[in-house]
């Protein structure tokens, strides 16, 4: 399941703060600040999708992520690779490195990451 752009923006705030109340989400939200009812509706949809849980403290709910940022974006990227690159991570990597205008330094850093993964996979 996927989040909408506005849900992703809200989820980012939850990931950054780990546990957060509705009023805190609004406070940390960039301008223009959304209405309380809008945030509450988004949180309900995210809860229904299985991304957010909450604990009740009196009349307030403390929200927390049920899905890690890493897991969410990993699934998202895998979906992109499947849908747009014929399920080929190699085609995706080739496209990414040739079209993203990475500097030589960034490419060297990426190469080090790949070399590290090669060593890890050979063990």
Task: Give tens-digit pLDDT for 43-60.
Answer: 999 999 999 999 999 999
pLDDT of residue 109: 92
Tokens of 56: 């009740």
Domain ranges of the chain: 5-65, 69-122
Architecture of the structural domain at 5-65: Orthogonal Bundle (1.10)
Record the pTM. 0.75
* Residue pLDDT, tens place only, 99-114: 988 899 999 999 999 9
């Amino acid at each position: 399941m996927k989040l909408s752009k506005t849900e992703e923006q809200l989820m980012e705030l939850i990931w950054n703060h780990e546990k957060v109340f509705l009023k805190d989400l609004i406070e940390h939200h960039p301008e223009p600040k959304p209405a309380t009812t809008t945030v509450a509706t988004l949180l309900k949809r995210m809860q229904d999708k299985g991304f957010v849980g909450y604990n009740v403290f009196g009349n307030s709910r403390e929200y927390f992520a049920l899905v890690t940022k890493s897991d969410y974006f990993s699934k998202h990227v895998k979906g992109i690779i499947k849908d747009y690159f014929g399920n080929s991570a190699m085609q995706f990597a080739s496209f990414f490195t040739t079209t993203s205008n990475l500097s030589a330094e960034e490419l060297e850093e990426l190469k080090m990451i790949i070399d590290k993964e090669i060593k890890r996979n050979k063990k």
